[in-house]
Amino acid sequence: MNSRLSHGPWALAGALLLSGCVVAPPMARVARTAPTAAVAAAPMYFYPEHGQDAPRQDRDRYECYRWAAAQSGFDPGMTPVSLPPPSAAPTRDGADVAAGAITGAMAGAVLSSPHHTRESVVIGALFGAALGAVAQESRAQAADQALAARQAALAPLEGFRRAMSACMSGRGYRVG
């Protein structure tokens, strides 16, 4: 039997075996509809320090809420905010580069002719490492963008919370 023909089934089997090692990067979920999830921020607590009675506390809370909304330009009770899901910090540890190099070297070894195995292993490792580096950087950039979008969505709420805390502190409440 011709040695060239005997490599065909082995190459196919190797390619199928290695295809099981491929892991697709996680897809970013993009909201295509109107925002539906409201920001679930930690509640703010105000403790009266000068014996303010309940009606006075309610009035102070209402007036400070209105003032904070006017100062910050953000009304959390009327503004639905959609946040991207929290993501893990981007990693650039080289694990994808190493995995790509190993996978590429294995594919080069399996798919090469017996006379060019070494060269094929090196070429496969180089291409695999390059593809692993591209995939790793792509995932890290997506995580950076998701973090920046989340921080931008929370910025108006933080401005409101600072204004509300300042107002209530000025009226004799401890903010907790």
115-131: per-residue pLDDT in tens? 888 888 888 889 888 88
Contact 127, 106 (CB under 8 A): no
**What's the confidence (pLDDT) of residue 53?**
95
Each residue's pLDDT, cut to its tens digit, for the chain (176 residues) gives 455 445 656 665 665 555 555 555 555 444 433 333 344 567 889 999 999 999 999 999 999 999 999 999 888 887 665 665 666 777 788 888 888 889 988 888 888 888 888 888 888 889 888 888 888 888 888 888 888 887 887 788 889 999 999 999 999 999 98
- Scanning the chain, the segments in alpha helix (DSSP H) are 3-19, 54-72, 95-111, 117-170
| Chain centroid to CA 75 | 27
For the entire predicted model, the pTM comes to: 0.50
**What's the confidence (pLDDT) of residue 45?**
92
**What's the confidence (pLDDT) of residue 16?**
55
How far from each other are the two terminal CA atoms of the chain, in whole angstroms?
82
Nearest residue to 173 (alpha-carbon basis) of 42, 164, 69, 76: 164
**What's the confidence (pLDDT) of residue 51?**
93
